[in-house]
Amino acid sequence: MFSRYLALPFIPGAHEVVVFCAAMCGACLGFLWFNAYPAQVFMGDVGALALGAALGTVAVIVRQEIVLFVMGGLFVMEALSVMIQVTSFKLTGRRVFRMAPLHHHYELKGWKETQVVVRFWIITMMLVLAGLSTIKLR
């Protein structure tokens, strides 16, 4: 009924995914509370990879893979920076960035850690707004 009213595609079983996403959001907010500068708790690879896998799975379930690619554009840029750095170094022996992933490159250029974080937040917010703006285009 709501999807028809809002002119959005109906996805059967999406209400279970909403509960899972709400639990994930709550866990992330609890983590971020203690991860604010100066961080007391660090996520590490296990948490980051599990979170990424959960986001990818949710995107596949609701058939919004391209929107996830747009909204997670900063994560894509971080991963691509590592791939570019490794490929360039293996083929030419030269580095494209001072250090990969991309956020370390900016830290070595002289940006403070908090500057990098806030600017990456701004980029992510703009990408998420761009992704959300495509909801009605389908």
The pLDDT tens digits of the residues spanning 77-96 come to 999 999 999 999 999 999 99
Domain boundaries, the chain: 1-63, 64-138
Give every CB contact of residue 67 below 8 A, 6+ residues apart in sequence. 59, 131, 134
The pLDDT tens digits of the residues spanning 102-114 come to 999 999 999 999 8
CB neighbour class for 107 (10 Å; exposed up to 12, middle 13-18, buried from 19)? middle
Please provide the distance, in angstroms rounded to a whole number, between the alpha carbons at the two ends of the chain. 18
The confidence score (pLDDT) of residue 41 equals: 86
Tell me if the pTM is above 0.85.
Answer: no
Residue 57 has pLDDT above 80, yes or no: yes
The confidence score (pLDDT) of residue 138 equals: 61
Element (H, E) at 129: helix 113-132
Cis peptide before 38 (omega within 30 of 0): yes
Residue 51 has pLDDT above 80, yes or no: yes
Q: How many CB atoms are located within 10 Å of the residue 106 CB?
A: 18
